Amino acid sequence: MVDPVRVDPLRSAPPPPEVVGATAASQIRQQLDEASAAARPQLASDLLAGLDDAALAAMAVGEEGRAALQALDAALAEAPPAQRHVDGDRARLTAVQAEGAPDGDRQALLLDLGQTALDIVGIFEPTPFADLTNTGISIARGNWLDAGLSVLGVIPYVGDLGKLGKLPRLAGTVDNAIAIARADPGFAQQVRPLLQRIDGALDGVPLDSLPASARETVESMKGKLDEFFGGAGRFPEFVDGARHLDPVTGRTVIDAKPGATGGWNPTLNADRLEPDALYRTDTGYLYHTDGQGRVSRVEGDLQLGDGPRNTYQQQVSGREDRLPDDQGGHLIASIFHGPGEQMNLVPQNGNLNMGAWKRMENAWAEALKADLDVQVRIDPVYGGDSLRPTRFDVSYQIEGQPPATRTFQNRPGG
């Protein structure tokens, strides 16, 4: 008899939409586990295509079903750029997961996350504090196995291997929280401090000393948290002119496509941008504004291109705060599809702009030409009410290289 849920990853025909119980949900997870990494995203998309909304809603209210939904989402998240059609599948899953989590479940999830943060600290930091605290939480919630593992962890050099066994479950808790937070800004505000605590704890994990399976779990958790806090994983599809709420920061996100000569985008060309907002371009660059509407950060994955130049805005950037030897400096250079509008321009010392800053941009361009990914974050830092930055704090990472940071004073030589 043919398994009605099983899908051959080499075929595109989805399974028939049948009632999905705990057994079928378990089969979905098993199929994803058995599939190769290359085949897994398309398999997840095919499996999801065979489930109607009623079946997904039924899965979302059961523990096994929610685990299957998380597994499907994790598989879709592994899709390469050529399979970005799965973004629609992920949006469908996110909505179902959010609707299927009642308030009681969300409160329990918040407790789970607090316990997860302590668990991670207890596993990787040689201190009894987290283990003893978590013992109390586990006993109060009736989790005697977890309590036993936490007590064991207080004893020096005993219990570390046992505690590593908790990592897959901890990763599942993080996945579930991120899925709901993407669709529910209120829950995202509640859960953000806990996710940030977990993210910070993972930064200190000695990956090289972990067994392969534990290392993969930690790297996966870290990647999903970085994706969520970085923006790409938490924003809906770009729609020019759209406004929506960022579930992580609570700020308004404004989607605005840069223009060109004769048709600049007035939203991006305003003398003052909206304060405490996020502006997102169709190329994926994310601009943060401070309380005075000045760009305080821009971040994104660089891409080679030929952005149009706005000579007028380059000449007036900074207005009365501009110095005689300043130029209108692009935060994201034109060679990286940087916008020509006012939003992307600041008064920058001409020697810096054409010297050390330009050399840094050239290094990024060479990396892109070598088909390497380049991620950047540029923070202009201002003094008082001035529109002219006093310095630029730059963080970037070129694929295959460690992260780098540089600080440029807004003066000759940097």
Domain range annotation of the chain: 22-99, 103-230, 243-409
What is the rounded distance in angstroms from the CA atom of residue 200 to the CA atom of residue 341? 36
Confidence of residue 61 (pLDDT cuts 50, 70, 90): low
**Based on C-alpha coordinates, what's the Rg of the chain?**
24
**pLDDT by residue (tens digit) across 341-360?**
999 999 999 999 999 999 99
Q: Which of 201, 226, 24 is nearest to 116 (CA)?
A: 201
What is the rounded distance in angstroms from the CA atom of residue 75 to the CA atom of residue 83? 12
53 has a pLDDT exceeding 70: no
Q: Are 277 and 253 in contact (CB under 8 A)?
A: yes
Q: Which of 44-53, 95-104, 404-413 has the highest mean pLDDT?
A: 404-413
Mean pLDDT, rounded, for 373-387: 93
The string of DSSP letters for 119-181 reads HHHHHHSS-HHHHHHHHHHHHHTT-HHHHHHHHHHHSTTSSHHHHHTTHHHHHHHHHHHHHHH
Integer CA distances (angstroms), 105 to 58, 61, 98, 135, 363, in order: 15, 10, 11, 22, 49
Q: Which amino acid is at 123?
A: I
What is the rounded distance in angstroms from the CA atom of residue 45 to the CA atom of residue 32? 11
CB atoms within 10 A of CB 252: 16
Could you please state the CATH topology (level 3) that the domain comprising 243-409 is classified under.
Extracellular Endonuclease; Chain A (3.40.570)
CB atoms within 10 A of CB 383: 11
Which spans in 317-379 are helix H?
350-354, 356-369
* Both tokens assigned to 258: 């840069």
The per-residue b/e assignment along 170-207, b for 16 or more CB within 10 angstroms, e otherwise, is bbbbbbbbbbbbbbbbebbebbbebbebbbebbeebee
| Residues paired with residue 243 on neighbouring β-strands, in sequence order | 254
Q: Which of 242, 227, 201 is nearest to 115 (CA)?
A: 201
**pLDDT by residue (tens digit) across 287-341?**
999 999 999 999 999 999 887 776 777 777 767 888 999 998 999 999 999 998 9
Report the C-alpha dihedral over residues 119, 122, 123, 124, rounded to 10 degrees.
120
Is the pLDDT higher at 256 or at 139?
Answer: 256
* pTM for the whole structure: 0.54
**pLDDT by residue (tens digit) across 196-242?**
777 877 777 777 777 888 888 888 888 788 777 765 556 778 899 99
Q: Which of 28-42, 88-102, 323-337 has the highest mean pLDDT?
A: 323-337
Would you state the pLDDT for residue 98? 55
CB atoms within 10 A of CB 217: 19
Would you state the pLDDT for residue 285? 94
